[in-house]
Amino acid sequence: MQYVAVRLTSSPLVTLGGVSRREGNKMGLLSILRKLKSTPDQEVRILLLGLDNGGKTTLLKQLASEDISHITPTQGFNIKSVQSQGFKLNVWDIGGQRKIRPYWRNYFENTDVLIYVIDSADRKRFEETGQELAELLDEEKLSGVPVLIFANKQDLLTAAPASEIAEGLNLHTIRDRMWQIQSCSALTGEGIQEGMNWVCKSVNSKKK
């Protein structure tokens, strides 16, 4: 506290930058600021895919701490940037309707992490969602990209547990990338933080 006061009174404002460069090792207020500035958040491109009505947009809005009560089906895509653990997560939420699934591939390039969202209560479409996921994992542009599977809608009584979904989708046969399944409820927010922690961890270990 005293140190800062002396600095400010003894040197005029314009020369402060020079002063702190010389004495940077003392970690004055300015050098701390400069250090923060010199490591801007690393940008991460996250692709959010899954069948329609899986909860992708609700998840996206939860991540951005936005109101989730007026959501409508996604025509096209939504994108939001969220700060998390020193990362700037650019999350692309692409509509899941069958008609626009052919457009998914336009968004594959440079993807760091794939998040695949499943409606755990929609058992009738487990087969369809499994097929779409399998096709995604076969995509060349997504090869090696870590995949997080959100077993969403766990707030519903009829929701299948994540372990059952993992077995149904044969996740244990995935050998070519990191993967994780996380049960969650985009509605209540439960499980989302855990999932995102895994996302940040997998980005870190990939970059090393």
Partner 1 sequence: MLGYIWQYVYTSFLRYWLKWLIRQATGNCELQRICSSCKPGATRTAKAEYSLRCSKNKVVRGALETSKDNLEQCVNQIMQEKNVKSQKDPQFKASLHICLLQITGYSSLYTSVEDLRKEVFSSDNPEHEAMLLKLWDLLMPSVKLDSRITKQWGDIGFQGDDPKTDFRGMGLLGLINLVFFSENYTVEARQVLSHANHPKLGYSYAIVGINLTEMAYSLLKSGALKPHFYNTVQGTPELQHFHQLYCYLAYEFDKFWVAEEPESIMHFNQYREKFHNIVKAHLLEPDVSLTLTVSSKN
State the minimum distance, in angstroms, from the CB of residue 71 to partner 1: 4
Consult the annotation and say whether 154 binds a ligand. Answer: yes
State the minimum distance, in angstroms, from the CB of residue 134 to partner 1: 20
Q: In what order do the strands lie in the sheet with 42-49?
A: 77-84, 87-94, 42-49, 113-119, 147-152, 179-183
Q: Does residue 62 have an active-site annotation? A: no
Which CB, 25 or 158, lies closer to partner 1?
Answer: 158
Which CB, 77 or 179, lies closer to partner 1?
Answer: 77
Contacts 24+ apart (CB under 8 A), 132-141: 132/49, 132/50, 132/51, 132/101, 133/169, 136/49, 136/104, 137/174, 137/176, 137/177, 139/105, 139/108, 141/105, 141/108, 141/109, 141/111
Consult the annotation and say whether 56 binds a ligand. Answer: yes
Nearest to 192 by CA among 44, 65, 47: 65
Catalytic residue among 2, 97, 180, 182: 97
Give the Cα separation of 47 and 43 in Å (integer).
13
Which CB, 55 or 146, lies closer to partner 1?
Answer: 55
State the minimum distance, in angstroms, from the CB of residue 58 to partner 1: 9
Q: Which residues bind partner 1 (CB under 8 A)?
A: 52-53, 68-73, 75-78, 96-100, 103, 106
State the minimum distance, in angstroms, from the CB of residue 57 to partner 1: 9
Which CB, 16 or 82, lies closer to partner 1?
Answer: 82
Q: Which residues are annotated as a binding site for GTP?
A: 50-57, 96, 152-155
Query: Any idea which residues carry the catalytic annotation?
Result: 97
